[in-house]
Structure 1
Amino acid sequence: MDFSEEWKSVFPIGSVFGAPRLLSSPSSKAILGPLFFNPKPQTLTQLFNSPSICPPLLNPPSGLSLSRFLSTSTTLDSPIPLSTASSIASLFGPQLHDNAASLLAHNRLQFLRCPHDNAVIIFFSTGCNHDQVGFLLLSVKERSLQVVGDPKGGVLTAKKCLNQRIVKILVNPVADSVYFDGNDSCSSNVVGYLLVYTMSSVHWFSVKISEISERPVLVYVGCKIFKSCSIVDACWSPHLLEESMVLLENGSLFLFDLKSDSSDIYFRGTMLKVSWEDSGNSENRKWLGCHFSWHPRVLIVAGSDAVFLVDWRHDGFKVTCLANIDMFGVYAPIEKERFLVFSKAVSDNFHFVLASDHILALCDVRKPLMPILQWAHGLDKPCYVDVFRLSQLRSNSRKSTHEWATASGFGIILGSFWNCEFSLFCYGPPLPAHKGSIASEISKISKSSYSWDLPSDLLLSGNKCRCGSCLVREEFLKDALPEWIDWQQKKDIVLGFGILSNDLSSLLFESDEFGGFTLIRLMSSGKLESQRYYASWDLVRKLEAAHRDQLLCFGDNLLYSLEDEEYKFPRRFKYLKLDYLSAYINGNISQVLDSNMTKPCKGSQQRESFSIDFHEILCEKLKICGFSQFRTSPAISVVFNDINLPTSVHEVALRSIWASLPMELLQLAFSSYSEFLEVLLDKKVVSLEFLVVPDLPQLPPFFLRNPSSRSSRWSHKVPHSNALVGPVLPLPILITLHELQNGCPNSQDEEIGGFSPEVELSNRCSEVMQVAREMAMPDSTVEPDDEDAVSLANDRDNIWVDSEKPKSFFLHCPVAVHCSTEVHRESNCVHKDGRFGFLISKVHEKESIHNNEVENVGQELFDDLCPIQLKFDAAAMDFSSQELKAYNLLKRHFSKWQEEFKPFRGFYSRFQKQDK
């Protein structure tokens, strides 16, 4: 058996019992010291609070993808199975969705230490579309962090707006006080550089400290726009500070030199002619990122299935495979395993860390295809990884017992901002051996690494109780949310963080027993917080404050909201005189109308009557809407001819009333904006607002109308529109006016107060129901507690005067409102009145249903999906072969569901009887 160090690295920590690379014995822990980190109570400090430092994620994530839209469940009664919906979605290629998890894949806070000053600059994206660089200056004064922003109390921002959402910000500190400033000159106040990239562009800034205001200032240096391919990653060179590398989605690499490209604001860069053909490039490979290695001309490039070393120190480009997905062996499902994220280690330029779905590996460029250390991380889709020195995590310690471990150890933070899960993996060299021993001599030659204890949870939010009760309560709250709402929308999560340097942290807090670190974090609620973490032998499971308050309920955070302050405009209350509405509610609308009509008009200005030209235009528009048909046929026949979609008896009655009104009343009900009087409100003239009457011929109430496209005041930019709008008067007012005009013949009493619009509408509903029942077949006339549907095709009355062939109709009571017995009538019925519970529908003509000889490629192919006639208010269109293929697949499953759905079978059987 091979007992070499390489043999030991084959077994991941956490996947095998007694992993040979794990140091977790009591004797080793006494040397390594505490490796758990807990938030220190009473150290949480809010530094800044504004949504401007955490702009909302536009287009919040939706679970309703194309396949999710087609099928919302996989139950047996679902019309479309999930597998079928997925196959249909695959016909149309990948669906572009704004995935919030991908937007939170990167750390949103970047730190730049100001030399010769106790301050640090933090950078983040800001703006309504994350398209602007924002920053704040944090300085230590009197043992506290002071935030310096703009003079108005907001954040400092770069003047340059990038016009695209920022994906990532990279900081490059300047060690020397004098360095290149991007304009071929030297400046003594340049403290660093920024590389900011969006999906298709890269931008460079220089960071200066203003000598006047002593605030940081961003100076735009240049940019590069990629039009053919999107950007995956970018990095600064640690060897030559003016150089940076950009990786594109297709694997192309571009090297940029700020000094050579400074003559023009638009950089060109140098494309590296790297060929990936011999690297086993697969079509499913997704590029992850790039980092410079130990030489300025040696680069590490990572993909979803392999990591490569690109060397161009000599002529040509040499590509070497450093890691692939197969090297994890039996400890990960190779067929589904993918690399998700990688980063370079801080120990030297040879080591890098790589995380897949299940394994976290520490690798060395000098040992290709052989990880030097592996863990089974147990995290769900990690998207962030970084390496820190243990001396940074255990700084400011009062005890020097574990000084060797603090100086030589490292910590890997791996996790996901979207899932709010982070773990700390500590590692370092083997335990020191006694001087002069064989083990001591071997350790000088072998540079192996060991895992120091098992991984531990790292609670970056600092305010979560990890006791069993709180964890269970949180999971129940997540499950209680609707499935289209992510729980991240309801909880304050960490969007970015940074660790203060040891010298700044020592100025803020007293030394701890075993040391600790100061964390600066950005929350989704718009808060910038600082908190001290301390090293401990055990994790604290129960935090009293969080256990008592934090997890009692989920609240809304600012992840998808832009409301950053209270309503700042003056509140003014408007009082409207709604005397007609009050009269209608109290049942005396006719009395109020009659008294107001008999009152003399006050004032000298009176509205002129309609002109002859406008009268002709209005009549023509009303004829298009169908109001002219009732002049040659009874109103009820016009209404039945106008039925296209399933319509309730109540709506049919309303249409019949509209069709019976005379033209002079319709002129009051409909008009154009040019004929409206403007209203005086708060000593200002305000224009009225109404909805436009649709172009399709139809009687009111209109179905799915578009809003009017106009402003609150007419101008030369928004001229008067001649569109027909209305109704501008409610139907009860028009009915009452019509009754008053005719002398109230339908009033119950001789007095005017005896007429009621509600009674008139009820009588008209009874008339419509009576006509519908008289047209039904003798054996199919039903009451509300009988069968589901009846046929209205038996035209025994010569009522259809404008059609050579009788129309076909259904009188249908949906199952949801159908009461089978008198016992359940009061408790289960949605509508106790038949005028709302019964729907009248027009069906297809026989030849349109059974004619299968003509190939339908337009909207008519939907006609055979159900017996009810479908009418689309859309332009004619033809469907492509892909869409026809998806339609046929949907149709097969929909037909199968129709056959198995009992209420529909009963409904369709009525139609088949009539069809015969």
Structure 2
Amino acid sequence: MELSEEWKSFFPVGSSTVAPLLLSGSPSLPLGPLLFNPNPNSLSLIFSSTSLQPSLHYTPYLLPSRFLLSSHPSSILPSTASSITSLFSIQQNDASSPFLRNRLHLLTYPHRPYALILFPTGDNDHKLAFFTLRFEDSRFHTQLDTNGDVFYASTGSSHRILNISVNPVTDYDEADGVIGYFLATTLYSVHWFAARHNQILDRPSVVCLGDKMFKTCPVAHACWSPHILEESLVLLESGHLFLFDLECFGFGAGFKGTRLKVPWNDSSKSKVWLSCEFSWHPRILVVAHSDSVFLVDLRLKECSVNCLMKIETLRMYAPDENERFLSLSRAAPDNFYFAVASTSVLLLCDVRKPLVPVLQWVHGIEGPSFMSVLRLSDLRSHSKEDDFKVASESGFCIMLGSIWNCEFNIFCYGSILPFRKGSVTSKINPAICAWELPLEINLSGHECHCGSCLLRKEFSKDALPEWTDWQQKKEIVLGFGILSNKLAALLTEPDENGGFTLIRLTSSGKFELQRYHASWAPARNLEACPDQVLCLNRHLLYSMSDEDYKFPKNYNYLKLDYLYSYACGGLTRFLVRKLKRNFKDAHDKELSAEVHELLCEKLNACGFGQLRSCPEVTSVFNDVKLPASLHEVAWRRMWADLPMELLQLAFLSRAECHKVVGNLDHNRVALESLAVPELPQLPPFFLRKSSPHDNNDIVGPVIPFPVLLVLNKYRNGCSNFEEGEFSVETELSLKYKEVMQVAGEISVSAYGPTHLDDHAVSLAEDRDETWVGYSKPKSFLLYRLVSFNSSAADHVGEKSVYGDANYDTLISRIPEKKSTEQTESVGQEIFDDLSPVELRFDAPAKKLEPLGLKAYDLLKRQMSKWQQSFDSYKEFCSQSRFEKK
């Protein structure tokens, strides 16, 4: 494909087979090996301590969608819960937030073969820990304190250290002994330190130079200047920038930085600020937020802000609406370059070419939060052969990855000039291209990436519970650093093609050192494959505390044998065996007069008197005030048929609940039961308020209805109990058919008589038999729930839009037409003509005065306007014979 130089960079490497700016290894292009494999024979343990294991203080992670019941798979319409779940995007686990950045940092001594190892520790990662790695007697030794532990330095705060940035000193001065500076950031503060070597004690020391608290806004990022040793930059999540100078630090005096007056536009203020870096000049900055990267020029009196890159420029190869920038870093070959990674794409950019990337890769890494730019010579140092010396000295690498997800890739790039004569170059610099496709690097150093091991790893992850992160069960790398070439050359013999020495910190509290060598192909250690199975058998990341747990641990166990028997369809047999062993007649139970009186009162109000040997089915419809499914009505009918003695078992006073629990267990167990409402209703009493309750409240049911039904049949001597033929579902099905028959007689069908289930018999078309007492006009309405975007008549004779058709047919009482002449104050009945169902208010009755009537008239006009514009509602009112006044 022939493309102009300007368009070549717009084709990301890895997005397709066409990549104009991609060089692959060949005899004519001696790039050298760019794969880096760990040498298993070079693995050595530097130091290990379980006290250095990081801690987690987070509850198990579950997405909000787990707690929302979505639509049934057979449903053609999404439920309200399903629409809500789409609003919850999958975010990074809160437990991973402390492990998004590198936890291990190296500071090499400029005058000795030593390296200072820095990392956060403590029960909340609020302490700075460090020790020295010394090369003596042809091997590395660790220098610890007199107790054999690491050295500690305090930030003076109990907040978690989120990031550490190191600034080495190139010219060592024995007078002050400073080997480098570093800063540590917490959520709301930045702390500056100086690392020294104590000549007298011959040990490292860390001195806090000062700190700055930001009380109103969290810290987004902090970095050191590559131009001026003592300067550092701090970016807040509000977009405010502060410049700090170590020369302004004074003991006993407060440390103040200079707030940079940057004129951000309004759209930038609403975004998530990400990172900041110095560019080619000490007063030119690169600042990034989730949607854009900016160049901030502070050289003149008036600050200027220019956009360098927008997330919209990536839409061709990153069409996801949630695409955003995630990490930023300075890049080589000079400070004009910077690298920025988004959710899908890695970009190499030049501040002199706004909105035009120099190079692009599709990285394929989930949540890349770590990025570091290295020279290729740092990764291919100490080699036996110099065949690829030119490529090593002119090439660069971007190491991009996710520490929490254990994914790291190396992206190599460099100039075309050393390899291809006569290539066209730009006016600014030689053309830059990618060297090979992105290559994976295994930082753990002891895992096999063959197909069998990868499959076992994925299967082990899937076997874990949903709320458990596999990283908490496996030893992962939480931090790493590359040893300087001078120190690495002292330890090992030269490699054939060069390599580097890695120091890593694992989640088990181990510091390991291992050599990596450049290779042409990935390592396949087939002999060790069976032993490299992912072990997810114990927690390696767990909450630690300086003190033991002080409170007693009590465990209460629940026996779910009844529930298990019901789920398996064997509740009847299970209860019969129980009752034969220890059956006590319900008559032997001493009845509570208060509970008995309340239950009788509610049953009488619904037409179920004390002589309830064979009550009429129609009586249960007296309790239908609000819209209810016919399945729900059938349940109420079955509850009302139970004798009072069994109802006494299901409903009791709150005080009796505590007595029952006290007899079962000496340890008090919290009980949650719904209180019986004051309104006259049939059991099990719907639409009730939950706890807290008073001890005098009547609560229940405390025993499930299937158990009560089996008990009732057993007391009445049911003949088919021995064979286990009795079924709760069969009884419910018979009552449901009976209720459907009566509903067809006493109700007006909104969509005709054919909407009832096939197994139900509708008497709406059969006038030969009429139920006694219901020859009067029908006062109930039968209708089926439909979607707003569908016509009601379209669903007649079709399957329900819900998964369970037992609940889609509703019955409601048609409100009586009452006079609403406003000659005097009226009550809540005035709202009856606004709805085809009877309205009930859970509030004290109150008369409407003239001012309230005026508000009602306004409400009625607005309601009528909406009803007239809603076709589905007009069709419903027409077919249900509901006429507004």
TM-score by length of 1: 0.61
Match of 1:108 in 2: 102
1:411-426 to 2 correspondences below 5 Å: 411-415=397-401, 422-426=408-412
Once the two structures are TM-superposed, the CA of residue 536 in structure 1 deviates from its matched residue by 1.3
Match of 2:579 in 1: 589
2:441 aligned counterpart, secondary structure: coil
- The code of the aligned residue for 1:544 comes to L
Match of 1:652 in 2: 636
Change (3 A) 1:695 1:265: farther
Change (3 A) 1:207 1:764: same
Match of 2:856 in 1: none
* Pick aligned residue for 1:310 from 293, 296, 302: 296
Q: Tell me if 1:245 matches 2:241.
A: no
Segments of structure 1 that go 5 or more residues without pairing to the other structure are: 180-185, 600-608, 711-719, 813-835, 850-860, 876-884, 900-907
Deviation readout 1:5-37 (Å, 9 max, x if unpaired) = 9999899877897958958552441xx532222
* Pick aligned residue for 2:260 from 262, 265, 272: 272
Deviation readout 1:334-393 (Å, 9 max, x if unpaired) = 99997654311365544433456787554555x444979524445467554321122321
CA distance in 1, matches of 2:697, 2:151: 48
CA distance in 1, matches of 2:739, 2:711: 27
Change (3 A) 1:331 1:622: closer
Tell me the C-alpha RMSD between the 2 structures. 7.3
Q: Tell me if 1:170 matches 2:165.
A: yes
CA distance in 1, matches of 2:256, 2:275: 21
Count how many residue pairs are aligned between Structure 1 and Structure 2.
785
CA distance in 1, matches of 2:756, 2:662: 50
Match of 1:374 in 2: 359
Q: Is the 8 A contact 1:351 1:362 kept in 2?
A: yes
Q: Tell me if 1:193 matches 2:182.
A: yes
Q: Is the 8 A contact 1:21 1:450 kept in 2?
A: no
CA distance in 2, matches of 1:359, 1:747: 74
1:440-839 to 2 correspondences below 5 Å: 448=430, 450-451=432-433, 453-461=435-443, 497-502=480-485, 505=488, 510-520=493-503, 531-540=514-523, 542-544=524-526, 585-587=575-577, 589=579, 592-594=582-584, 632=609, 640-642=621-623, 645-646=628-629, 647=631, 651-652=635-636, 655-657=639-641, 660-661=644-645, 665=648, 669-672=652-655, 676=659, 679=662, 685-694=666-675, 696=677, 701=684, 724-726=698-700, 746-747=716-717, 770=738, 773=741, 776-777=744-745, 786=759
Q: Tell me if 1:39 matches 2:28.
A: no
Once the two structures are TM-superposed, the CA of residue 838 in structure 1 deviates from its matched residue by 6.1
Q: Tell me if 1:845 matches 2:813.
A: yes
CA distance in 2, matches of 1:870, 1:108: 62
Match of 1:345 in 2: 331
Segments of structure 2 that go 5 or more residues without pairing to the other structure are: 563-570, 747-751, 786-803, 818-830, 845-861
Q: Is the 8 A contact 2:70 2:78 kept in 1?
A: no
Match of 2:788 in 1: none
Match of 1:235 in 2: 223
CA distance in 2, matches of 1:309, 1:764: 72
Match of 2:855 in 1: none
- The code of the aligned residue for 1:691 comes to E
CA distance in 2, matches of 1:13, 1:739: 74
Q: Tell me if 1:222 matches 2:223.
A: no
Once the two structures are TM-superposed, the CA of residue 844 in structure 1 deviates from its matched residue by 2.8
CA distance in 2, matches of 1:37, 1:297: 38
TM-score by length of 2: 0.63
Q: Is the 8 A contact 1:118 1:139 kept in 2?
A: yes
Once the two structures are TM-superposed, the CA of residue 656 in structure 1 deviates from its matched residue by 1.8
Change (3 A) 1:533 1:187: same
Q: Is the 8 A contact 1:222 1:267 kept in 2?
A: yes
| Identity of matched residues, % | 31
2:640 aligned counterpart, secondary structure: helix
Match of 2:823 in 1: none
Once the two structures are TM-superposed, the CA of residue 189 in structure 1 deviates from its matched residue by 8.8
Q: Is the 8 A contact 2:815 2:837 kept in 1?
A: no
Once the two structures are TM-superposed, the CA of residue 530 in structure 1 deviates from its matched residue by 5.6
Match of 2:304 in 1: 319
Change (3 A) 1:377 1:574: closer
Change (3 A) 1:105 1:363: farther
Match of 1:827 in 2: none
Once the two structures are TM-superposed, the CA of residue 237 in structure 1 deviates from its matched residue by 2.7
2:117 aligned counterpart, secondary structure: strand
Deviation readout 1:22-57 (Å, 9 max, x if unpaired) = 58552441xx53222223345567867799526377
Q: Tell me if 1:410 matches 2:396.
A: yes
CA distance in 2, matches of 1:482, 1:348: 48
- The code of the aligned residue for 1:655 comes to W
Once the two structures are TM-superposed, the CA of residue 400 in structure 1 deviates from its matched residue by 4.7
CA distance in 2, matches of 1:350, 1:805: 84
Match of 1:820 in 2: none
Change (3 A) 1:118 1:789: farther
Change (3 A) 1:627 1:376: same
- The code of the aligned residue for 1:33 comes to G
Once the two structures are TM-superposed, the CA of residue 208 in structure 1 deviates from its matched residue by 6.7
Change (3 A) 1:384 1:630: same
- The code of the aligned residue for 1:656 comes to A
Once the two structures are TM-superposed, the CA of residue 501 in structure 1 deviates from its matched residue by 3.4
- The code of the aligned residue for 1:694 comes to A
Change (3 A) 1:671 1:25: closer
- My pick for the range that moved more, 638-647 or 489-498, is 489-498
Q: Is the 8 A contact 1:690 1:728 kept in 2?
A: no
CA distance in 1, matches of 2:166, 2:456: 40
- The code of the aligned residue for 1:202 comes to S
1:672 aligned counterpart, secondary structure: helix
Change (3 A) 1:673 1:766: same
Change (3 A) 1:206 1:576: same
Match of 1:123 in 2: 119
CA distance in 2, matches of 1:673, 1:154: 60
1:108 aligned counterpart, secondary structure: coil
